[in-house]
Structure 1
Amino acid sequence: MKRGLPVLVMALALAACASTPPLAGSGPGRTTAGDAAAMDSQRDIILAVANPLQPPPIHAGSSVLGYAPSRYYGAGQQAASTLAALRQRYAFSELAGWPIKALKLYCIVLQPPPGTSRDSLLQALAADRRVQLAQPLHDFAVYAQSAAGGHAYNDPYVGLQRGFIETEAARAHRYSEGRGVRVAVVDTGVDLAHPDLEGRIHDAHNLVDDDAAAFDRDSHGTEVAGVIAAVGDNHLGIVGIAPQAELSVYKACWYPPAPNAGARCNSFTLAKALAAIIDTDDRIINLSLGGPADPLLDLLLVQILQQGRIVVAAIPPEGNLAGFPDSTPGVLLVRMSGPSTAPPGVLSAPGNDILTTQPEGGYDFTSGPSMAAPHVSGMAALLLSLAPRLDVRAIRDLLLRSSRLSGGVLQVNAAAAVTELRGTPQAAR
C-alpha cells in the first residue's frame, strides 16, 4: 500500500530519455497486444514438444536450416510436424507459441475444444509420447501490500528511506555500489524516463503486449527498480541499495482493468522472460512475485541456477514455500522483516513503508514482501561487485551470518555483509 507525503507532492522534471534503450519485443513470434492478459488460467494449457533444430538432409522443398514454415516462428520441422499432428488429433485451438532454445522445446498455449474439459485433455496429452510437457496455464501475482557512519548523500529523501537506513547501505557504499553487476527485474514495466533511474536501465523487454505507454505507467516494477538501483548523489529523491548496478527490465506482469487490482502474470509471460534471461549477462534475477508450482517455469529456473546466476525471490506473506519460485532448490528466499522467526535459510529484509520511485518521476511509500526482495538483490550486487565468483550458497550464508538487530528485528545488513566479505580472500578475486 502507498501513502503520500506532502513533501512528495512537489513535481520533479522528467529526465531526458535519449540514453534509455528502446523497449524490445519478444521477436517476430510474440503475441499481439493484449493476448497474454486475455489468456484464461482456468481453461488454457501449456504444451511443449521437442524442438531440436537439427539440419535435416537437404532435398527438394526442404529448409536448409531445418526451420518450419512461418506458422511456428522458431520451430524446427520436427516440432511443427508434431504440433500439426497433435492439433489434428485433439482439435485444440492455439493462442500463442514460442521457442525455448535452452530447453530445446517449442511451447504453445492452447484452448481445449468445446465440450472437452481441461483435465481430460491434460490427461490425454500427458499420455501422448510426442508431448514433452503439458500443464495448466498458471496465474501469478506480485507481492505488494496495501497500507498504512557512511556516505552523506545529497538526495533529499534519503533520510526517509527506512530500508536504506536500517540495512546501513550508506556505510556499505564506502566499498561497493554494485558497479559491473546487472540485475534482471522480472515484473511489470518500469518508468524508463524516471530521473532517479537515469543511466541504470541497460535494456527493457515487453513480453506482455506492445503498449509502451502502459509500460512506463506501471508502478510495481518501478518501485522494485528504485529500491535496487536508484541513482545516488544526483540531488533527486532517493538512493538505491546498489546505485551503480545496471538493470534489465522484463515486463511479464500487467495490471488488470479492475480498479485497484494487483499486477498479474502467467506461465506464458514468465516463461518468455526466463528463457530470454538465459542468453544474457544478467547475474541476479529479482522475482517479487509468486504463485503455484509450475513445471515449465521450474525447468527454466533450474537452467538459470545451473548457469551460476543468483535468483532472489520474495516469499508470500503467509510463508507458503510450495509454489513457484520458492520451491526450486537454490533460490535465495526473502521475507518481509517481522517479529516472528524466519524459516531456516530464509533471509529477512525491510518491506514495510519503503520509500521508492513511482511512475511519472514520482516517489511514494509502499509495503510488502515485494519490497524486501529487491533489498537483497541490491545487497547481492554489492557483494558480487567485490567478489564476482561468489555463488548463491556463499551469498546466503554471508547475509544470514551478518544479519543484525534493527528496531528489535533481525534482518540483513549491507554494511556488515560487505565488511565481513572484505576481510576474506574472496573479495580480492
Structure 2
Amino acid sequence: MNINKHALPAAGVEGPAAGAATLTLSGFFGSRRCILARHGVAAFVLSSCMTASVVSNAAPPEDKGSRSAGSETWAKGRILVMPRAGLPEKELAKILDAHGGKGRKIGQSDLYIVDLPGNASEKAIAARLARHPHLKLAEPDYRDSPELVPNDPYYGSAWHLPKIGAPAAWDSSQGAGVTIAILDSGVDSAHPDLANRLVPGWNFYDNNSNTSDVYGHGTKVAGAAAAAGNNGIGVTSVAGQSKIMPIRVTDVSGGGYSSMIANGLIYAADRGIRVASISFANQPSRPAVVSAAQYMKDKGGLVIVAAGNNGINENFTPTTAMIPVSATDGNDVKASWSSYGTYVALAAPGTGIWTTSKGGGYGAVSGTSVSSPVTAGVVALMMAVKSTLPNTQVESLLYSTAVDLGAAGRDAYYGYGRVNAARAVQAAAATAEAPDTQAPVVSISAPLGGATVTGLVGVNVIATDNVGVTRVELRVNSTTVAIDTSAPFGFTWDSAGTPNGMSNLVAYAFDAAGNSKASAAVAVNVANGTVTVPKDTTPPVVKIINPVAGNVSGTNVPISINATDDSGAAGITQTVYIDGVLKATGSGSTLGYNWNIRKVAAGAHTIEVVTKDAAGNATPTSVNVMVIQ
C-alpha cells in the first residue's frame, strides 16, 4: 500500500496572515448527507506520530460517484480512517491491504482517505475497520448538504440585528482585524457588499484557488456574517468590518464531503483562523469533521455549526469541539423546522434574514444556515474587541451572556440561550485574560502494571483538564514514542524497538496554557522473541439487557449493554451498530444509548454490539427487533 500525503498550499500562501479570524458554513438547501470530496484535500484528525511518503502535487482523488441508502449518501470507492497514535506506517499499510485499501494522508493531520476496490462495500469495510484495536476511526465518507427553508417575503429587513443587540455592540467593535472563513459553495467576489471583504481562500473540490460561488449558498452565508457595513448600499451584517476567507467545499449541486469540510477547517486553522462555523446538516455526528473541529480548537479556535433544519430531536452526542446553533424567530421562539437536542449549545436568529445573493442581489432566507454565520459574526466582534482573549474564554462569555430562553439553564431547544452581541462584546472588553495555572489530570488505564507485553501494545490514557487537553505524549523509559491530540486518547506502541525487560510507561498531558502533568508510571515486562507470553484469548462476556427480541415502538428505544472480562472492566470498549451503521461507542462494563425510531422504517432491524477487551478479543452479539410504526 502507498500512503501519500495530499499536497496543499502552504500556510501563508493563498491565505491571510495569522491572526484572529472566523469561519462560517450554513445550510439553506435541503437535508442531504455528505460524501468525500471529489478532489479531497487537507486534514481531519490528529493522533499518531507516523511518517508517510510525501508526494508533491498529488493528483486529487477520482470522483467515482456515490451510493445511497435511506437518508444517507456516501462516496463510492473510498472511506476515512484514522490510526491510533504511534501505529507504524507499515502496520497501517498491512491493515488496509487486507481490505484492498490504499491510504493517502490528509495534510498534517492523522486522517487518511482510503481508496477501495471498485466492488468493495464501503460501509461493511468501514464497520470492520472500526472494530480494529489499532484504529481510532473508520467511517464512510458521507455527503451532507446545506438546508433550505423557503424564503419569507415578509421578513425583508434586518430585524435580527437589534434583536441580538448588534448596534450597541458596534460602538465597541465592528469586527475589524478578524477574518471569517466561509466553508461553503464559494462566494460571489463581484458582489458590491462583498468584493472588498475577501481574502484568498481555497477550492477543495477542484483543488485550486478559484472560490467563485457555484451554487449560491455561500454568498448568502457570507453576507449574513460580514457583508460590508455603513457603505450606503445593500444590507448590513453582524461584523461589517471583518474580512471573509472563502473556502469552497461543495460540488455544483451544493453537497459537501466530510473530507473537504474537515480539510477546510484544518486549512483555516493552519492560517490563523480562530473560529469555524459549519452549517451543513449532521456535522456533530461526523467523527472526521468533529476531529478537525477539535484540531482548530486546539489551535485556539472555535467551530460553529448549524443544528439542522429537520425539526426533530437529532439525538447527536454532545461535543465540546463544536458550537451547534439552533434558529429563532423575531419573537425569540425556536423555528418549527429547527432541529434540537442536547447537542445544541446556542440559538440565533434564523428566519427571514436579509442577506446577499449570488449575482449582486439580495434576498431574505431562513435556516440554521444563517443562525451559524450570525453567531460567527458575534464571535468576530468579541475577538476584535480583545484579540488576546483565549478561545475558551470567548466561548464561556458567549454562553454566559446569551439570553436564556425555554427551560432555565441549558436546554435542548436553545442551548445556553439566544446569542446577545451587546452583552458578549461588553463582557469580552471588560474581561481580563485569566491565567490558567491548573494542570491536567492523567492516568494510564491499560496495560496494567506488571503485564508482559510483546509486539504492538495498546496503551489507553484518561486525561482531563479544567479548560481542555491539547495533547498527550506517551513516553517509554523517558523517550517520547507517540503524541495524540484528540480524545479519546490512546496509543499503539511498537514494543519491538524496546529492549526486553522492565520498561516504564508514562503519559504526559498538556493544556493550551502549557500546563502539564505526568501520570503515575506503569511498569511492564517487554518480552519480544525470548519468552512465550500467555496470550489473552478469552473474549469479554456481553449481554444486551434491553431491548429484548420482539416488537418495539414509540419514539426512543433505550439500548443497554452489560459486559465483563477476565482482565477487568478497564480495557473494555463497546460499539453499537444498528443495521450495520455505527451509532455509539463507550468504554467500561456498561453502555446506554437511546435509539430514535421516529424516522426508522417499520419492519425488522438488527442491533449489534461488538465488545472488545484490551487484548483485542472481540465478542459480537445482536438482537433482532421489529419496529412497529
Partner residue in 2 for 1:206: 203
1: CA distance between counterparts of 2:133 and 2:354?
A: 52
Residue identity opposite 2:237 in structure 1: G
More strand by share: 2
Partner residue in 2 for 1:304: 296
Partner residue in 1 for 2:149: 145
Alignment check: 8 A CA contact 2:187 2:222 kept: yes
Change (3 A) 1:371 1:397: same
Alignment equivalent of 2:282, drawn from 278, 287, 291: 291
2: CA distance between counterparts of 1:352 and 1:99?
A: 37
Residue identity opposite 2:303 in structure 1: V
2: CA distance between counterparts of 1:358 and 1:120?
A: 42
- CA shift at 1:315, angstroms? 0.6
TM-score normalised by the chain length of structure 2:
0.50
2: CA distance between counterparts of 1:368 and 1:159?
A: 15
RMSD value, Cα? 3.8
Q: What is the aligned length?
A: 356
- Give 5+ residue unaligned stretches, structure 2: 1-13, 16-38, 42-55, 68-73, 406-413, 435-629
> Does structure 1 residue 279 correspond to structure 2 residue 266?
no
> Does structure 1 residue 108 correspond to structure 2 residue 86?
no
Change (3 A) 1:144 1:36: farther
Structure-to-structure mapping, 1:135-284, within 5 angstroms: 135-148=139-152, 160-209=157-206, 215-256=212-253, 263-284=254-275
1: CA distance between counterparts of 2:395 and 2:212?
A: 32
Partner residue in 2 for 1:31: 60
Q: Percent identity?
A: 25
- CA shift at 1:270, angstroms? 1.6
1: CA distance between counterparts of 2:175 and 2:258?
A: 31
Encode CA deviations 1:125-154: one digit per residue, 9 max, x unaligned.
446677664321112222332233xxxxxx
Q: Which secondary structure does the structure 2 equivalent of 1:121 belong to?
A: helix
Residue identity opposite 2:420 in structure 1: N
2: CA distance between counterparts of 1:101 and 1:214?
A: 23
- CA shift at 1:404, angstroms? 4.9
Residue identity opposite 1:276 in structure 2: Y
Alignment check: 8 A CA contact 2:327 2:367 kept: yes
Alignment check: 8 A CA contact 1:191 1:222 kept: yes
> Does structure 1 residue 395 correspond to structure 2 residue 422?
no
Change (3 A) 1:196 1:42: closer
Q: Which secondary structure does the structure 2 equivalent of 1:238 belong to?
A: coil
Q: Which secondary structure does the structure 1 equivalent of 2:237 belong to?
A: coil
- CA shift at 1:110, angstroms? 2.4
Q: Which secondary structure does the structure 2 equivalent of 1:160 belong to?
A: coil
Residue identity opposite 1:167 in structure 2: I
Partner residue in 1 for 2:322: 331
Change (3 A) 1:210 1:277: closer
Residue identity opposite 1:273 in structure 2: G
Encode CA deviations 1:351-387: one digit per residue, 9 max, x unaligned.
1111111111111111101101111110111111112
More helix by share: 1
Alignment check: 8 A CA contact 2:147 2:367 kept: yes
Q: Answer with 369-378 or 344-353: which moved more.
A: 344-353
Alignment check: 8 A CA contact 1:30 1:98 kept: no
Q: Which secondary structure does the structure 2 equivalent of 1:312 belong to?
A: strand
- CA shift at 1:233, angstroms? 2.4
1: CA distance between counterparts of 2:425 and 2:97?
A: 59
Partner residue in 1 for 2:547: none
- CA shift at 1:327, angstroms? 3.6
TM-score normalised by the chain length of structure 1:
0.70
Q: Which secondary structure does the structure 2 equivalent of 1:108 belong to?
A: strand
- CA shift at 1:162, angstroms? 2.2
Residue identity opposite 1:160 in structure 2: S
Partner residue in 2 for 1:415: 422
Encode CA deviations 1:378-428: one digit per residue, 9 max, x unaligned.
01111111122334553344344444599xx9732322332344444459x
State the structure with bigger RCO (CA 8 A, min sep 6), 1 or 2. Answer: 1
1: CA distance between counterparts of 2:145 and 2:368?
A: 12
Change (3 A) 1:51 1:134: closer
Alignment check: 8 A CA contact 1:227 1:374 kept: yes
2: CA distance between counterparts of 1:401 and 1:121?
A: 44
2: CA distance between counterparts of 1:49 and 1:170?
A: 45
Alignment check: 8 A CA contact 1:177 1:382 kept: yes
